[in-house]
């Protein structure tokens, strides 16, 4: 698009004036990217609505009967909002976006390409099979892939190796507790909790209490990848383990136990 992009996050926009300052500094055809947009307060959303609809900023000066509204024209710009909690978006805000997209997990081959490019920027030599191994364990997420790449690089530095080969990569990833599927201790603890319930739905609050985790962390960090890969089902009564979970953990189901 040959234009500039301004990036911010909703938690950083605490007052209407914060948003007004961002909007008035935009140039024509700029892109404004707001991460975690579901965390905008209703008052700030009200400021955003005329900007989205008419490229206009309404500023109220004063209060009571003497209050005045000043209208400031804004240059045409593109607004992109990102969220992992689409259900928390207010309907008025959601309806004002012209298009809505749901992002998919990256494939291992796509992640491997990202990893190799990132390694080049770090001036780090990496074997093809090492990039593939990191990609396989990155849960389809570039952010995780880059984090694992840097940790494997740390292991290579400790080993005084200028090359990230497969042996160093496997040693590092296993030491970090990331298995071949990209699951870590929290994932396995979550799946074990469901599997041990033997088909009974487990509520989110029960899972959070048992794991000593925040419910938001479970919903936003742990569950999406497991759900996308068929390791759990969400029902109205709670979460249920799937046959893939029992097979992974090598835990027999009550049905299989009854056959013997």
Q: How far apart are CA 233 and CA 43, in angstroms?
A: 37
pLDDT digits (tens, 9 = 90+) for 104-133: 899 999 999 999 999 999 999 999 999 999
- Domain 185-253: CATH architecture, name and number where available: Orthogonal Bundle (1.10)
Domain ranges of the chain: 5-95, 108-175, 185-253
Q: pLDDT tier at 254 (50, 70, 90 boundaries)?
A: low
* Fold entry, domain 108-175: Helicase, Ruva Protein; domain 3 (1.10.8)
Average pLDDT over residues 207-228: 92
Residue 259 pLDDT: 39
Q: Is 56 one of the annotated binding-site residues?
A: no
The kind and range of the H/E element at 54 are: helix 42-54
Residue 162 pLDDT: 86
Residue 257 pLDDT: 46
Q: pLDDT tier at 255 (50, 70, 90 boundaries)?
A: low
- Domain 5-95: CATH architecture, name and number where available: 3-Layer(aba) Sandwich (3.40)
Q: Is 143 one of the annotated binding-site residues?
A: yes
Q: Is 39 one of the annotated binding-site residues?
A: no
Task: List helix spans (H) across 76-220.
Answer: 91-95, 108-121, 128-136, 142-158, 166-175, 185-196, 204-211, 215-217
Q: Is 234 one of the annotated binding-site residues?
A: yes
Tell me the pairing of strands 68-73 and 163-164.
Answer: unpaired
Helix (H/G/I), strand (E/B), else coil: 201: coil
Helix (H/G/I), strand (E/B), else coil: 68: strand
Q: pLDDT tier at 1 (50, 70, 90 boundaries)?
A: low
pLDDT digits (tens, 9 = 90+) for 72-110: 999 999 999 999 888 889 999 999 999 999 888 999 999
Average pLDDT over residues 240-256: 85
Q: How far apart are CA 130 and CA 136, in angstroms?
A: 10
pTM of the model: 0.76
Q: How far apart are CA 128 and CA 144, in angstroms?
A: 18
Q: Is 55 one of the annotated binding-site residues?
A: yes
Q: Is 53 one of the annotated binding-site residues?
A: yes
Residue 258 pLDDT: 43
Q: Is 125 one of the annotated binding-site residues?
A: no
Q: Is the pLDDT of residue 64 over 50?
A: yes
pLDDT digits (tens, 9 = 90+) for 164-214: 999 999 999 999 999 999 999 999 999 999 999 999 999 999 999 999 999
Q: Is the pLDDT of residue 156 over 80?
A: yes
pLDDT digits (tens, 9 = 90+) for 15-51: 989 999 999 999 999 999 999 999 999 999 999 999 9
- Helices and strands counted in the chain (H then E): 13, 9
Q: Indicate the DSSP class of residue 231.
A: S
Q: At what angle do helices 128-136 and 166-175 cross, to 10 degrees?
A: 20
């Amino acid at each position: 698009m040959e234009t500039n992009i301004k990036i911010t996050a909703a938690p950083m926009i605490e007052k209407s004036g914060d948003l007004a300052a961002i909007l008035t500094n935009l140039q024509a055809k700029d892109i404004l990217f707001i991460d975690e947009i579901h965390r905008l307060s209703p008052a700030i959303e009200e400021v955003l609505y005329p900007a989205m609809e008419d490229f206009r900023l309404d500023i109220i000066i004063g209060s009571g009967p003497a209050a005045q509204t000043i209208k400031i024209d804004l240059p045409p710009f593109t607004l992109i909002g990102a969220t992992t909690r689409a259900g928390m978006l207010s309907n008025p805000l959601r309806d004002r976006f012209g298009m809505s997209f749901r992002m998919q997990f990256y494939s291992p081959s796509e992640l491997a390409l990202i990893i190799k490019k990132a390694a080049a920027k770090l001036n780090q030599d990496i074997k093809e099979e090492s990039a593939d191994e990191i990609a396989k364990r990155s849960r389809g997420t570039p952010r995780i892939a880059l984090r694992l790449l840097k940790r494997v690089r740390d292991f290579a530095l400790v080993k005084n190796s200028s090359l990230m080969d497969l042996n160093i990569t496997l040693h590092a990833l296993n030491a970090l507790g990331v298995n071949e599927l990209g699951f870590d201790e929290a994932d396995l603890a979550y799946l074990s909790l469901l599997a041990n319930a033997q088909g009974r739905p487990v509520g989110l609050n029960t899972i959070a209490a048992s794991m000593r985790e925040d419910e938001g962390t479970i919903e936003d960090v742990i569950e999406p990848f497991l759900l996308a890969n068929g390791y759990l089902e969400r029902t109205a009564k709670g979460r249920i383990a799937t046959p893939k979970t029992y097979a992974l953990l090598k835990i027999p189901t009550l049905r299989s136990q009854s056959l013997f």
